[in-house]
Amino acid sequence: MGFPPRGVVLGRAIQKAMIARKPMPIEARRGADERRQISANGDIGRTSGTRHLGLRRDNKAMMQHARVVAGDRDALAPTIRRVTLRLGLLYWTATFLTDSIVWGIAGVDPLQSAGGKLFACTAGLLMCFAISAVLYRARDAAVAIKALICFGAALVAAPLFALLDFGIYVFCVWPQPAHFVWVDFGKTLVSCTANFFGWSCLFVALLYHFQSREQEKRLAASREEALAAQMRALRYQINPHFLFNTLNSIASLIEEGEAKRAERMVLALSDFLHETLRLDPSHDVRLGEELALQQGYLEIERERFPSRLRVEIAVPDALRACLVPSLILQPLVENAVKHGVSAGPGSVDIRIGAERQGGQLHLWVENGVPEERREAPGMGIGLRNVAERIEARFAGEGSFVAFPIPPDRFLASLSMPVRFA
Cα separation of 147 and 149, whole Å?
Answer: 5
Mean pLDDT value of segment 382-398 = 84
Contacts of 6 (CB under 8 A, 6+ apart): 241, 244
Cα separation of 134 and 146, whole Å?
Answer: 10
Contact assessment for residue 285 and residue 323, using Cβ atoms and an 8 Å cutoff: yes
User: Residue 286: what are its φ and ψ, rounded to 5°?
Assistant: -70, 150
**Is pLDDT at 377 greater than 80 in this prediction?**
no
- pLDDT per position as a tens digit, 209-266: 988 888 888 777 767 766 665 665 555 555 566 677 778 878 888 888 888 888 888 8
Picking from 72-81, 177-186, 220-229, 284-293, which range would have the lowest pLDDT averaged per residue? 220-229
pLDDT at 36: 40
Cα separation of 15 and 349, whole Å?
Answer: 25
Predicted structure pTM score: 0.47
* Bridge partner residues of 400 (DSSP): 414
How, if at all, do strands 348-357 and 309-314 pair?
A: parallel
Mean pLDDT value of segment 91-113 = 82
Amino acid (one-letter) located at 377: P
Please calculate the CA angle 112-117-119 and round it to the nearest 5 degrees: 115
CA 46 to chain centre: 26
pLDDT band at 401 (very low <50, low <70, confident <90, very high): very high
Mean pLDDT value of segment 124-130 = 92
**Is pLDDT at 366 greater than 70 in this prediction?**
yes
- 311-330 in b/e form (b: 16+ CB < 10 A) is beeebeeebeebbbbbbbbb
- 362-374 in b/e form (b: 16+ CB < 10 A) is bbbbbbbbbeebb
Ramachandran region, residue 95 (left: φ > 0; alpha: ψ -120 to 50; beta: rest): alpha
More confident residue, 283 or 24: 283
Cis peptide before 407 (omega within 30 of 0): yes
* Bridge partner residues of 14 (DSSP): none
Cα separation of 387 and 399, whole Å?
Answer: 7
**Is pLDDT at 203 greater than 90 in this prediction?**
yes
pLDDT at 68: 43
Residue 278, classed as helix, strand or coil, is coil
Please calculate the CA angle 297-300-306 and round it to the nearest 5 degrees: 125
CA 363 to chain centre: 24
**What's the distance, Cα to Cα, between the start and end of the chain in Å?**
34
Order of strands, sheet of 348-357, starting from the edge strand that comes earlier in the sequence: 309-314, 348-357, 360-368, 409-417, 399-405
Amino acid (one-letter) located at 68: V
pLDDT at 370: 74
Beta carbons within 10 angstroms of residue 346's beta carbon: 11
Residue 326, classed as helix, strand or coil, is coil
What average pLDDT is seen over the chain?
Answer: 76
Mean pLDDT value of segment 184-195 = 88
pLDDT at 160: 92
Element (H, E) at 409: strand 409-417
Cα separation of 45 and 12, whole Å?
Answer: 25
Element (H, E) at 115: helix 114-137
Give the CA-trace dihedral at 13, 18, 21, 23, to 10 degrees: 150
The beta strands (E) that lie in 255-296 are given as 284-286
- DSSP 8-class letter at 135: H
The beta strands (E) that lie in 274-408 are given as 284-286, 309-314, 323-325, 348-357, 360-368, 399-405
DSSP 11-22: HHHHHHHHHHSP
- pLDDT per position as a tens digit, 47-63: 344 444 443 444 444 44
Range from 32-41, 47-56, 158-167, 171-180 that averages highest in pLDDT: 158-167
User: Residue 36: what are its φ and ψ, rounded to 5°?
Assistant: -65, -40
- pLDDT per position as a tens digit, 23-46: 333 333 334 444 443 333 344 343
List of domains in the chain: 22-255 (no CATH), 257-421 (3.30.565.10)
